[in-house]
Structures are given as structure tokens and as C-alpha cells.
Structure 1
Amino acid sequence: MGEHLGKRLAEPRRVTRLIRLPEVMSRVGLGRSTIYRWMSEGRFPKPVQLGGHAVAWSEDDLDEWIAGKLN
């Protein structure tokens, strides 16, 4: 187990940017209602809870979703 932990610590940490709804809508070309409906249907990435009612989406998750739509 110690080797595994040491290996994880040696890897560089990748930090993903968190994106709020207005930028998400701009990037994917969808409106708020469609994004939330598709989330409930499992067709769009879920956001990360920031606290209170504030949420944001992982830039990596959105990039993967967009790439999947292009294929």
C-alpha cells in the first residue's frame, strides 16, 4: 500500500476548471431548461455543488461530453 500511495503523490495533480451555467450554455449551445432536463435524463454531465445553491461543471466533463457528441 505504501508504494501505491507514494506513486500517487509523485504524479502531477491535474486541476480542472469549474464553469458556471452562463459559460456552459455558451459552450454547448443549449438553454438552461434543456441542460437541466438532459441532466435528469442522464444525457448531460452533472454539476459539482459549490455550496448553497451554487453549482458549476467540470471543464473536463464538458469537453468529454462535447467530444462524444462530435463522434
Structure 2
Amino acid sequence: MPNSDLQLLRPKEVCQLLGGIHISTLYRWMDEGKFPVQKIQIGPRAVGFKRSEVEKYINGEMGEHTEESDSEVAAA
């Protein structure tokens, strides 16, 4: 089995793992700091994300985006 730390996921694959969000939502979350996984440039017009870091985010081991956090920000 390949080492998950070395596997890269393309943005569309990350979107599917995050519940089928739109790719523009992924990039907006990145701009807003809600998706803290660093993208890796793998070509002139191609980026990837380390599978291990995406899995940490999904498992709550990094800052995560939730609807509750949105409502807390709106209430502030």
C-alpha cells in the first residue's frame, strides 16, 4: 500500500471527500483560512494536496469548517 503522506489528491478529489462541495467553495475556504491544508504546485496549472493532511483536516486534527462556526461568526 502506498504511503498516504506521499499521495497527492487533486482539488476535485478533495471536494468529493469534503461532501461534494464545489471547487470554488474549496478555494474560498482556503482564502478564508477555513481549509488550512497547503496546496502543492505539481505543474504550471495543476495543484495537489497531501492525502495525509486532508485526512487530518477531515478527522478534526486541524482547524475545521462547520456550519456552527459560520453561525458563531455571524453572531459576533
User: Would the TM-score normalized by the shorter structure come out above 0.5?
Assistant: yes
- Structure 2, unaligned runs of 5 or more: 65-76
Partner of 2:8: 18
Q: Distance in 2 between matches of 1:15 and 1:27?
A: 16
> What is the identity percentage for the equivalent residue pairs of Structure 1 and Structure 2?
35
Aligned residue in 2 for 1:35:
26
Number of aligned residue pairs: give it.
Answer: 57
Distance 1:15 1:46, change over 3 A: closer
- In the superposition, the TM-score normalised over structure 2's length comes to 0.65
Unaligned segments of structure 1, at least 5 residues: 1-12
The alpha carbon displacement at 1:15 in A equals 4.5
Where do 4+ consecutive residues of structure 1 move more than 4 Å?
A: none
- What do you get for the CA RMSD once the two structures are aligned? 1.9
Name the larger-Rg structure.
Answer: 1
